Chain A
Amino acid sequence: MTFIGNEISSILSKNRNKICDSWKKQLIIQSRTLVELIGLNQVEKITQEISDSLIKAVKTINTHEHEDYKKLEKQVAELSREMSLRNITPTETAQLIFFIKDAIFPILQEDYGQNSIIADYILFINSIVDKLGLLTFQIYLESREELIKEQQRAFMDVSVPVVKVWKDIVLIPLVGMLDSSRTQLMMETMLSAIEDTQSKVAIIDISGIPIVDSLVARHLITAASAAKLMGAECLITGIRAKISQTLVQLGVDLSGIVTKTTLADGLQLALQMTEQKLI
């Protein structure tokens, strides 16, 4: 079989505007939400750029210099990244690319008018196979996401241990990043522990939290006031020099909460507060 890239490329470049136009139209008809999401101007830009690159790439794809094709690949990769950042599903992005076929095939068919029936057949099968391909893709993705969610759940289960370290004293050692959902979970487990054990002091140890920003600080204040409302005192330990520096620079006011540098200090204070002595 002789290389047909040149021929196709010349046909396509003759009809370049027509391809861009009908591709755009296809997109507007078949994936309206996508077009609405990224805007008509952006769609126009994408169709034009990729059509141009494709026309160039088709010409050289069978020779040793793949540079044009590499450029096309790069463009599509960039587009995919952008789409995923905008929370557009990979299926939709793939469809966006696939619709160029609907723009190109009629033009090729027009050129080889005599074989139009075969072209029709190919087109027909093609659209079905495309859909199947997309389906496998989507299912794979869904199962991966399911796995990630499950792991997140598993992590959540072990993420907030509450330890009763002494009579009337519970300890919550925190490790890793503290976000809103974890704070919520932490508060719930802490309050249940206080309720169940009727502990008078709760120590939250943040030595394992790498960065304490204003958001984390706010979460900690919330947790402390929750413990206070129940009638327990809340100590925060593990405030290192770096953390205290950032907190003051951020203007976070922790003055209502008792804080200590080390857990040992905190424990000692807690023992004093509950009028207990180590023998």
Chain B
Amino acid sequence: MVDIPILMIGKNVVVPIQTELNDIGAKKMQEDVLYKIEKTTASGLVIDVSAVSIIDSFLGRILVDTSKMAKLMGTESVIVGMKKEVVLTLIQLGLRMENLNTALNLEDGLNLLRKLQETLHGKISG
């Protein structure tokens, strides 16, 4: 099984998923990502799924859950680069994935994270 690369850009964890993930792989990815956040105390998480052409209900839930878990650890997360076919399948499966931050591409995702973190800071300092 291929390990999913987990990178750091500034204070953000970036996870570019480059292969199709099966259930076990998805679980492992979730674990690895959360450990990485714990170790680095990253302030943001970007999961790039632009190379994934199949997201089933399991992987969909993993993504939503990971984002919730990261949030509990104080890390905002964004899923970026969802493909058109993936979106159509998810919609047909009835998975709306509300409360999930999404962006078109990595760059937008990082921008969105910055904005989210700014508003968070604003709340704390204001």
Which residues on A sit within 8 Å (CB–CB) of B83?
195
Which residues on B sit within 8 Å (CB–CB) of A228?
102
Beta-carbon nearest neighbor of B86 in chain A: A229
Question: B-facing mask of A185-206, CB < 8 A → 1, else 0?
Answer: 0011001101100111000000
In contact, A229 and B97 (Cβ under 8 angstroms): yes
Which residues on A sit within 8 Å (CB–CB) of B81?
231
**A80 adjacent to chain B (CB < 8 Å):** no
In contact, A195 and B105 (Cβ under 8 angstroms): no
Of B88, B96, B102, which one neighbours A231 at CB under 8 angstroms? B102
Which residues on B sit within 8 Å (CB–CB) of A264?
none
Of A191, A199, A200, A256, which one neighbours B87 at CB under 8 angstroms? A191
Beta-carbon nearest neighbor of A229 in chain B: B87
Give the residues from 71 to 90 in chain B that come closer than 8 angstroms, CB to CB, to chain A. 79-84, 87-88, 90
In contact, B91 and A222 (Cβ under 8 angstroms): yes
In contact, B91 and A226 (Cβ under 8 angstroms): yes
Which residues on B sit within 8 Å (CB–CB) of A191?
84, 87-88
In contact, B104 and A200 (Cβ under 8 angstroms): yes
Beta-carbon nearest neighbor of B108 in chain A: A231
Of A192, A198, A199, A222, which one neighbours B84 at CB under 8 angstroms? A192
In contact, A231 and B82 (Cβ under 8 angstroms): yes
B29: min CB distance to chain A, Å: 19
**A232 adjacent to chain B (CB < 8 Å):** yes
9 intermolecular pairs with C-beta atoms under 8 Å apart: A187-B91, A198-B104, A200-B104, A226-B91, A228-B102, A230-B84, A231-B108, A232-B104, A256-B98
Which residues on B sit within 8 Å (CB–CB) of A230?
82, 84, 87, 102, 104
**A48 adjacent to chain B (CB < 8 Å):** no
Bin the interface of chain B by size.
Answer: 20 to 34
**B103 adjacent to chain A (CB < 8 Å):** yes
Which residues on A sit within 8 Å (CB–CB) of B100?
229
Question: B-facing mask of A159-193, CB < 8 A → 1, else 0?
Answer: 00000000000000000000000000001100110
In contact, A225 and B82 (Cβ under 8 angstroms): no
Which residues on A sit within 8 Å (CB–CB) of B79?
231
Of A188, A192, A200, A225, which one neighbours B96 at CB under 8 angstroms? A225
In contact, A231 and B97 (Cβ under 8 angstroms): no
Which residues on A sit within 8 Å (CB–CB) of B91?
187, 222, 225-226, 229
Which residues on B sit within 8 Å (CB–CB) of A226?
87-88, 91
Give the residues from 9 to 38 in chain B that come closer than 8 angstroms, CB to CB, to chain A. none
In contact, A231 and B103 (Cβ under 8 angstroms): yes
A170 CA to B90 CA, complexed, in Å:
22
A229 CA to B102 CA, complexed, in Å:
6
Beta-carbon nearest neighbor of B91 in chain A: A226
Question: A-facing mask of B94-126, CB < 8 A → 1, else 0?
Answer: 001110101111001100000000000000000
A231 CA to B100 CA, complexed, in Å:
10
A226 CA to B83 CA, complexed, in Å:
11
A192 CA to B86 CA, complexed, in Å:
12
A200 CA to B103 CA, complexed, in Å:
8
Beta-carbon nearest neighbor of B79 in chain A: A231
Beta-carbon nearest neighbor of B100 in chain A: A229
Given A188-B84, A192-B84, A256-B98, check contact A231 B90 (CB 8 Å).
no
Most chain B Cβ neighbours within 10 Å, of A200, A228, A231, A232? A231
In contact, B88 and A188 (Cβ under 8 angstroms): yes
Question: B-facing mask of A220-246, CB < 8 A → 1, else 0?
Answer: 001001101111100000000000000
